[in-house]
């Protein structure tokens, strides 16, 4: 490990020894300062994100506002969540306390450069830990701005950037100063970090890929569902782990869905990324767009048909819909991390469940139908970490977030997110 990286770990550990002793009121005061700083600079930070990874400015600024809401959630709920509990036993007193672990490493992706970092770092710091953050290499402006943002007047530095290539993260994970690691990103990166952390018995949270199904039963009003379907697929230019990627539609309304989805997709025109009217951006890197094009072309070679779109130019990938997709095609089996949707028909809801579960991912599923009791009766049949009924899958600070199967382990946000990196101590008094 480079000497400067080791030096940062040592510094983060020195601050931890002081930070863990601060009472919760002080840590919450820190969060208030952080939130205010974030909001004051929201346009400037938004512009940096747009420059880093081609996100339309309106979505960049919205991402900052959402991050501020997450901070508010923990300001309001931190004390309740961290409180611990008393347990009635034959001893005179038994209770639990949640103490911090130490320096926690975050390894974060480029697709939501601010949001991903906030949802990991805010609860981790509130719990009394300090954070060392390795951000994705292709968002350097955001990474630098984040470190500046987390430095709040009147408080110690509790958040430290490290600059190391992905392949060298292992030795940071292995360093004895690091007491836990949270990675959001791809399966290979998650697997690599989890194996080294596992071998050293360090806690890990992994938020990995997804290939969410968006299931539409035959009894819906498509005019209400199609705008959600479009948003679920094309938000963040399709580069979202929880995007609706596989549209499973009852065969009796499939053609009507395709027609309406195609009409709605026309609104997603290429535009100036700094213009607040622009709704879709370029993909973050050309190699990612080429990868998505290959998934599309390989599926077409196997018999899929392009309903609309299908063109790529540099980082621009036209919003695209594929039909005649089968379960063995790459567009069904792999994560399509960009604006490429696939539609598959079903005849019975049980068929839709089988299609949905036929994925090695298990992040979330959205299902739509008038009979909510019927849909609720199917919850336990799905493999995913989140089930949304009559809404698209979104992340919300108050709701636990995380996946099953190759989508990851552990949960972020809500109570679970704040308790991910704590020592849950049991205290017994005779
Ligand atoms: P990625 O290539 O895995 O990168 C994510 C982070 O891991 C980056 O900081 C990267 O650093 C680092 N990294 C890469 N290889 C590594 C290794 N072998 N060991 C340790 N760290 C390594 O993923 P990405 O392409 O940036 O992000 C897209 C993926 O993230 C998609 O699969 C998406 O679904 C997933 N994602 C999941 C969630 C969720 O909450 N479940 C949210 C957002 C994204 P470098 O940039 O330096 O390579």
pLDDT tens across 126-136, in order? 999 999 999 99
Instruction: Please report, rounded to a whole number, the percentage of residues in the chain having pLDDT higher than 70.
Output: 100
**Using one digit for the tens of pLDDT, what is the confidence trace for 82-120?**
999 999 999 999 999 999 999 999 999 999 999 999 999
Active site residue 22: no
Q: Is 109 in the pocket of ligand 1 (CB under 6 A)?
A: yes
**Digit-coded pLDDT (tens) for 242-296:** 999 999 999 999 999 999 999 999 999 899 999 999 999 999 999 999 999 999 9
Of the candidates 168, 169, 148, which has an alpha carbon nearest to the alpha carbon of residue 159? 148
378-411: per-residue pLDDT in tens? 999 999 999 999 999 999 999 999 999 999 999 9
Name the residue with the closest Cα to ligand 1, atom 23: 185
Counting beta carbons within 10 angstroms of the beta carbon of residue 418, is it exposed (0 to 12), middle (13 to 18) or buried (19 or more)? buried
Local confidence band at 173 (pLDDT 50, 70, 90 cut-offs): very high
The number of angstroms, rounded, from the C-alpha of 330 to the middle of its chain's C-alpha atoms is: 23
- Which of the residues 47, 63, 149, 241 is marked catalytic? 241
Distance separating alpha carbons of residues 314 and 234, to the nearest angstrom: 18
pLDDT at 207: 98
Does ligand 1 lie within 6 Å of residue 385's CB atom? Answer: no
What does the pLDDT read at residue 417?
A: 98
Which residue in 97, 154, 157 sits closest to 133, CA to CA?
Answer: 157
Percentage of the chain with pLDDT > 90? 99
Check if the beta carbon of residue 418 is closer than 8 Å to that of residue 74.
yes
Look up residue 312 and give its two tokens.
């790529």
**According to the model, what pLDDT value does residue 369 have?**
97
Atom number, ligand 1, closest to the C-alpha of residue 110: 26
Give residue 1's pLDDT.
86
Q: Identify the band that residue 350 occupies on the pLDDT scale cut at 50, 70 and 90.
A: very high
Q: Global pTM?
A: 0.97
Query: Cα separation of 244 and 384, whole Å?
Result: 13
Could you tell me if the CB of 166 is within 6 A of ligand 1? yes
Residue-wise pLDDT for 37-59, tens only, equals 999 999 999 999 999 999 999 99
DSSP H helical segments within 266-376, as ranges?
286-301, 330-333, 349-357, 372-376
């Amino acid at each position: 490990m480079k000497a400067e990286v080791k030096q940062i770990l040592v510094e983060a550990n020195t601050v931890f020894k002081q930070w863990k002793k601060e009472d919760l009121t002080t840590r919450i005061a820190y969060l208030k300062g952080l939130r205010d700083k974030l909001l004051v600079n929201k346009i400037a930070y938004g512009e940096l994100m747009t420059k880093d990874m081609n996100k339309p400015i309106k979505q960049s600024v919205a991402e900052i506002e959402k991050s501020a809401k997450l901070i508010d959630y923990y300001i309001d709920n931190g004390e309740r969540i961290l409180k611990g509990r008393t347990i009635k036993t034959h001893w005179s007193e038994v209770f639990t306390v949640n103490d911090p672990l130490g320096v926690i490493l975050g390894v974060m992706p480029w697709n939501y450069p601010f949001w991903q970092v906030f949802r990991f770092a805010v609860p981790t710091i509130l719990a009394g830990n300090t954070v060392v953050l390795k951000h994705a290499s292709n968002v350097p402006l955001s990474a630098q701005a984040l470190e500046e943002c987390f430095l709040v007047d009147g408080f110690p530095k509790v958040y430290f950037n490290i600059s190391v290539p992905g392949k060298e993260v292992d030795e940071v994970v292995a360093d004895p100063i690091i007491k836990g690691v949270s990675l959001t990103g791809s399966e290979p990166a998650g697997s690599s970090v989890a194996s080294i952390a596992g071998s050293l018995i360090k806690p890990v949270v992994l938020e990995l890929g997804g290939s969410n199904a968006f299931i539409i039963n035959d009894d819906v009003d498509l005019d209400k569902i199609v705008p959600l379907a479009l948003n679920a697929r094309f938000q963040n230019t399709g580069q979202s782990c929880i995007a609706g990627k596989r549209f499973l539609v009852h065969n009796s309304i499939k053609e009507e869905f395709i027609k309406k989805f195609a009409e709605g997709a026309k609104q997603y025109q290429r535009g100036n990324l700094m213009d607040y009217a622009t709704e879709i951006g370029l993909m973050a890197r050309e190699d990612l767009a080429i990868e998505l094009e290959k998934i599309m072309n390989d599926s077409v070679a196997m018999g899929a048909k392009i309903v609309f779109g299908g063109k790529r130019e540099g980082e621009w990938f036209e919003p695209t819909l594929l039909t005649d997709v089968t379960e063995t095609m790459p567009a069904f089996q792999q994560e399509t991390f960009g604006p490429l949707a696939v539609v598959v028909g079903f005849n019975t809801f049980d068929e839709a469940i089988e299609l949905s579960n036929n994925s090695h991912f298990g992040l979330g599923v959205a299902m739509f139908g008038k009979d909510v009791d019927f849909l609720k009766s199917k919850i336990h049949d799905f493999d995913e970490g989140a089930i949304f009924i009559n809404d698209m899958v979104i992340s919300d600070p108050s709701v636990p977030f995380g996946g099953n199967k190759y989508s990851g382990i552990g949960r972020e946000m809500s109570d679970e997110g704040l308790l991910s990196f704590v020592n849950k101590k049991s205290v017994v008094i005779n």
